[in-house]
Structure 1
Amino acid sequence: MSAEFFSKLSQNYIELLKDDKYYDITIEVGEDLNVKIFRAHMNILCYRSPYLRRVLASNKKEDNILSHIRLPNISSEIFQIILEYIYGGIISLNEQNTSDILNALLAADELCLQELVDYLQIYLIENKSEWMKENFEFTQRISSQSNNLVELQKFCADFVAKSPERIFKSPHFTSLSEEFLVSLIKRDDIQMKEVEIWEHVLKWGLAQNPSFVADPNVWLDNDFKIMENTLQHCLPFVRLFSLSSKEFSDKVRPYQKLFKRQSYEDLLSSYLDPYYEPGDSISLPRNIEIDGIIDSKIVNLNIVSIISRWIDKVDANCNFSYLRELYLPYKFQLLIRGSRDGFTPRNFHTLCDNKHNTVTFIKLKDSEEILGGYNPIIWMKFDSWDTNGALNYHNEHGPCFGKDLLIYTYEDSADIDFDLTEVFTDEYYEKSIREEGEFLMEDYEIFQIIKNK
């Protein structure tokens, strides 16, 4: 059996830090009038900080000569916090300003105190998130000073994705690092119109070339080459295929010389030729969140937009319609969600029968695949078919689209959970839903669509 007496040990080491008798190294921190000298012990510093070990190893002194190192980037107040952690393994943050904690995080990172770096990041996110949002420019500037501050950088990126105006429209936007800007515009969930992202990328590029005028009509060919080089890492992540035709004409066409010839031809053709085939590398529109359209655990607004286009036959023959700006003429009112309301045929019929214009989404188990269909008339529990065979009604089945897509139970009971989703090929519909097979369902949702006023 072993006993641990860390509390007393920590106390003794803190007393050693405060003792002026046995030190063998001095540390000068701060700059100019704010310089302060600390006395410390080389062995403790070497074993607690890999950074200080390297510094001291490269600055060996003769015997009886006091070692001295300088840390001008760290203030005396912050270094006192760091020393108490190094000696006693303790850190008291309750009395500290959040800005000081962020500076302590930077100091801990500089001194390679990874345990403290990890702790401070989590502490800040869990306890000081509101302050960091209100003082976002300062927080982001701290986070960008080291690639090791992963959690803080993720906090900043997540916040910008949800509230992009806080940084895109701030006076400090053009001073963002290229790396941070690229990390933002790569995200699927940034809540900003694509044309605005494009305009801000151009704004950032102009700020990196202060001699340029804003009007591209007066740029020379060499100016376009310089700007192309400036934006070379940003341009691939702006989703220009998501723009409307007017936005493309007004906002992108004047800058066509920034793009490789084939890239621009592909983009232009997508607006001129509805049958032009999109390439595999084109990104889908971003996952914009708009309250009041749909409450779904299965689909996002991009899928809702695609389904709405199919229902209204908007751009039905355009191969690029799924890449364009969101088309959201309906509100999707949730009637049933299996994981919330149950998976039995009785649940389905009770909540969905006699409801017009419904859309069904089925999430397959252990897959990202989503199946479903649109019913412009009603569901009912009496055994029958609609006149075209497109809908299959049964008291002990779920929503069934002909025989092409079936949800049912093997037991033929209205009170047993659905245990099978089955697909057949070209039975009653012009196009197959997918290849034939039986699939397990993870969840399903049915919505009634209501035209926006």
Structure 2
Amino acid sequence: MEIFQAHSVILRARSKYFHSAFSSNLVKKEGDFYIFKKPNVTSIVFKIILKYIYTGTILGNIENNIIELLLVANEMELYELVEYLQQCIINFNNDWIELNGVKLYDFISHHKGVFPKLQELCNNIMSQKPKLLIDSNEFWGLDDEALLSMIQLDYLEMKEVEIWDNLIKWGIAKNSTLNSDMTTWSVKEYDILKETISKFIQHIRFFQMTSQEYYCKVRPLSKLLPKELEEDLLSHYIVPEYKLATKVLPPRKSQNDKIFDSTILTRKYFNIISYWIDNGQEKLPKFTESF
């Protein structure tokens, strides 16, 4: 544990969080010193925060710690720093996104509405280039809420059968007792996977698959589906005019039809997103990490 010394008057003046903390029982006083403990914050990040509070600057390489830094800055109500860090991430190049996309998407999914620029950024990247996420080694560790946010996207540029395939793989990876050879599974193992993926099923647009995709990929695993959906899918592909009990979701929308209607990201940032998605070779200029 690293110990930092700072002036409480400066911390109070620069941060509403510290002002409230020093005025409450959150901080223990020993003699003339306040003892303030933050076990959830790494010393590297706290050092950066402390430097910012004193000088208004962010110095050094923050790329490896920026997500934690963003979270702590928001907790400490340093909203100018929060805005700055969001724009830093938007300006990072494609390499950073490929390495940290899963972590960022996971983070944003747990803080919906807190970081609107990054939420819209993630949704646009994952809508247009979901393989940045799915092809990552970190994808299988993605938690339920993050994956659900992705599957719910109207502009997700993936075929439904690919979404289904990857959901099955993700569900297997989430359960250490399941092996990848499903032909050896018992009823119990299918029940485990069915429970794992149950919340996602209603958001997959099964009725938009081709008959071949359904027959080869979904039908063999139909025991993972609710009974009503299983029967409706079978009826749909055998008797297309059959009246279905299941709500049929519309096809996902194409990015080519999407109108630039963002109220958060400017055209500049959409150009940066396009750069990432097109896998440009030139490096974007680094953001200067100081105010």
The TM-score bracket by the shorter chain reads 0.7 to 0.9
Larger radius of gyration: 1
Q: 1:266 and 1:155 mapped to 2: Cα distance?
A: 37
Match of 1:244 among 210, 217, 220: 210
**1:64 to partner: Cα distance:** 2.9
Q: Which has the higher contact order (CA 8 A, sep 6+)?
A: 2
Q: 1:170 and 1:130 mapped to 2: Cα distance?
A: 14
Q: 1:225 and 1:251 mapped to 2: Cα distance?
A: 18
Q: Secondary structure at the match of 1:286?
A: coil
- 1:6-405 to 2 correspondence within 5 Å? 31=1, 35-41=2-8, 44-45=11-12, 48-50=15-17, 53-54=20-21, 57-59=24-26, 61=28, 64-87=31-54, 90-92=56-58, 95-125=60-90, 127-128=91-92, 130-135=94-99, 136-140=101-105, 142-143=107-108, 146-147=111-112, 148-278=114-244, 281-288=247-254
Figure out how many residues of one structure are paired with residues of the other and give that number. 257
% same residue: 30
**1:185 to partner: Cα distance:** 0.7
Q: 2:257 and 2:196 mapped to 1: Cα distance?
A: 40
Q: Secondary structure at the match of 1:37?
A: coil
Q: 1:262 and 1:154 mapped to 2: Cα distance?
A: 35
Gaps of 5+ in 1: 1-30, 290-294, 299-453
User: 51-60 vs 76-85, which deviates more?
Assistant: 51-60
Higher helix share: 2
In structure 2, what residue type is equivalent to 1:111? M
Say if 2:151 and 2:163, in contact at 8 Å, map to a contact too: yes
Say if 2:108 and 2:115, in contact at 8 Å, map to a contact too: yes
Gaps of 5+ in 2: 260-291
Q: Secondary structure at the match of 2:253?
A: coil
Q: Secondary structure at the match of 2:36?
A: strand
In structure 2, what residue type is equivalent to 1:287? K
Q: 2:108 and 2:57 mapped to 1: Cα distance?
A: 21
Q: 2:93 and 2:22 mapped to 1: Cα distance?
A: 35
The Cα offsets for residues 45-77 of structure 1, whole Å up to 9 and x where unpaired, read as 387233673476224546735221222443444
User: 269-278 vs 98-107, which deviates more?
Assistant: 98-107
Higher strand share: 1
Q: Secondary structure at the match of 1:39?
A: coil
The Cα offsets for residues 339-384 of structure 1, whole Å up to 9 and x where unpaired, read as xxxxxxxxxxxxxxxxxxxxxxxxxxxxxxxxxxxxxxxxxxxxxx
The Cα offsets for residues 250-296 of structure 1, whole Å up to 9 and x where unpaired, read as 1111221222211111111100102213457311122245xxxxx77
Q: Secondary structure at the match of 1:67?
A: strand
The Cα offsets for residues 18-40 of structure 1, whole Å up to 9 and x where unpaired, read as xxxxxxxxxxxxx4xxx242322
Task: Return the TM-score normalized by structure 1.
Answer: 0.50
Q: 1:51 and 1:236 mapped to 2: Cα distance?
A: 45
